Amino acid sequence: MATAGKVIKCKAAVAWEAGKPLSIEEVEVAPPQAMEVRVKILFTALCHTDVYFWEAKTPVFPRIFGHEAGGIVESVGEGVTELAPGDHVLPVFTGECKECPHCKSAESNMCDLLRINTDRGVMLSDGKSRFSIDGKPIYHFVGTSTFSEYTVLHVGCVAKINPEAPLDKVCVLSCGISTGLGASINVAKPPKGSTVAIFGLGAVGLAAAEGARIAGASRIIGIDLNANRFEEARKFGCTEFVNPKDHNKPVQEVLIEMTNGGVDRSVECTGNINAMIQAFECVHDGWGVAVLVGVPHKDAEFKTHPMNFLNERTLKGTFFGNFKPRTDLPNVVEMYMKKELEVEKFITHSVPFSEINKAFDLMAKGEGIRCIIRMEN
């Protein structure tokens, strides 16, 4: 590539301060350093985690958000042997170094080196940002910063996928859909014929419902405060719905009554602390398992009576559905290629990069599931 080793000037959507609309700016993107790759982003999508950190008053601004995306490797830094220019890739907000105890464990995906860090706005190797405007740094977000035509990532946060896979579709597998799917099939593991409650029917929750269906659950109860979600959720395997607003008793009690003692599994995909507690307290004693997926408010505290644990309920949590980004994500893409997993139904909107703020408006209004942002047209 003619651009390898050089600074690239390109467009990026910069968040100058918390909660203010992003502004498209020309940024300079430095070449990748050792164990880094520079990727040309073709499609990106907005996930709730971006919105949360964009709204939150963290000290890390100006910043380039975005972590759900698909692109093509433009150039690689020193020591990168597994990726080459032209490879089709999905960036991931958590990583897999392949060397640490977590990466070597069959159970964990919490890589010591590259696990999600929402406070870090710089690259690991030298503590610097690869983005700048007039020499002033613009910070990274979760090691991905995909709201830019070019971005630099650690090689461990990049999954190489089948080049035949359409990037405008499989880009949504780089975060939300894989997270929900994995939370069900890898972590909750509902037995065949079981009953599963899904709290929050956004992209992550709908993917969790889809995962529960793939695993063979027969009753899938969707819980959301937004009743507009219910009709759509039928396409993702939900068989029943509960809107906590329709009841004057706690939703866990409603669910326990509906299921004669509690659900077998629950997956929380809201980020709301009350929903997390409800998701735990609605599982059946003796065997029930609740899985937390939503990213809570930083001051949130989980409170429940310890007796709920003694009564043999299990509480778990997961990032990225327990998938190892480099090892497992290419196989999730293959599930799509083999038509075992549909992703089209998650993609309800699409806007050109110049209209990226519309994706934020749609999420604020709770409209649609995923909005794809097209970088090129």
- What does DSSP assign to residue 30? P
Question: In angstroms, what is the minimal distance from the CB of 313 to Zn ion?
Answer: 31
Return the amino acid letter for 32.
P
Task: Answer yes or no: 68 catalytic.
Answer: yes
The one among 202, 237, 262, 325 contacting ligand NAD by CB under 6 A: 202
SS3 of 332-361: the string is HHHHHHCCCCCCHHHEEEEEEHHHHHHHHH
**Region of residue 260 (phi > 0: left; psi between -120 and 50: alpha; otherwise: beta):** left
Residue 353 to residues 11, 50, 244, 350, 373: CA-CA distances in angstroms? 9, 16, 37, 10, 6
**Which of ligand NAD, Zn ion, none interacts with 237 (beta carbon under 5 to 8 A by kind)?**
none
Q: Is the dihedral of CA 339, 341, 346, 350 positive or negative?
A: negative
| Residue of 1, 18, 60, 100 that binds Zn ion (CB under 5 A) | 100
Closest CA to 276 of 263, 257, 258, 295: 295
Q: Which residue type does 344 have? A: E
The one catalytic residue in 36, 68, 149, 281 is: 68
The site partner of 225 among Zn ion, ligand NAD, none (C-beta below 5 to 8 Å per kind) is ligand NAD
Q: Which listed range, 25-33, 136-144, 157-165, 202-210, lies at the site for ligand NAD (CB under 6 A)?
A: 202-210
Question: Is the N-terminal amide bond of 91 cis, ω within 30° of 0?
Answer: no
Q: Binders of Zn ion: how many residues, by CB under 5 A? A: 4
Residue with tokens 């890739």: 89
| Nearest distance in Å: CB 377, ligand NAD | 25
Quick one: what does residue 111 bind among ligand NAD, Zn ion, none, with the CB cut-off 5 to 8 Å set by partner type? Answer: Zn ion
Nearest distance from C-beta of residue 323 to ligand NAD, angstroms: 9
> In whole angstroms, what is the distance from residue 197 CA to residue 314 CA?
15
> Which of Zn ion, ligand NAD, none binds 151 (CB below 5-8 Å, type-dependent)?
none
Nearer to ligand NAD, 50 or 264 (CB): 50
Instruction: Please report, as ranges, the residues that interact with Zn ion according to CB under 5 A.
Output: 97, 100, 103, 111
Enumerate the active-site residues.
Answer: 47-49, 67-68, 97, 100, 103, 111, 115, 175, 370
Instruction: Please report, as ranges, the residues that interact with ligand NAD according to CB under 6 A.
Output: 47-49, 52, 175-176, 179, 199-205, 223-226, 229, 244, 269-272, 274-275, 293-295, 319-320, 366
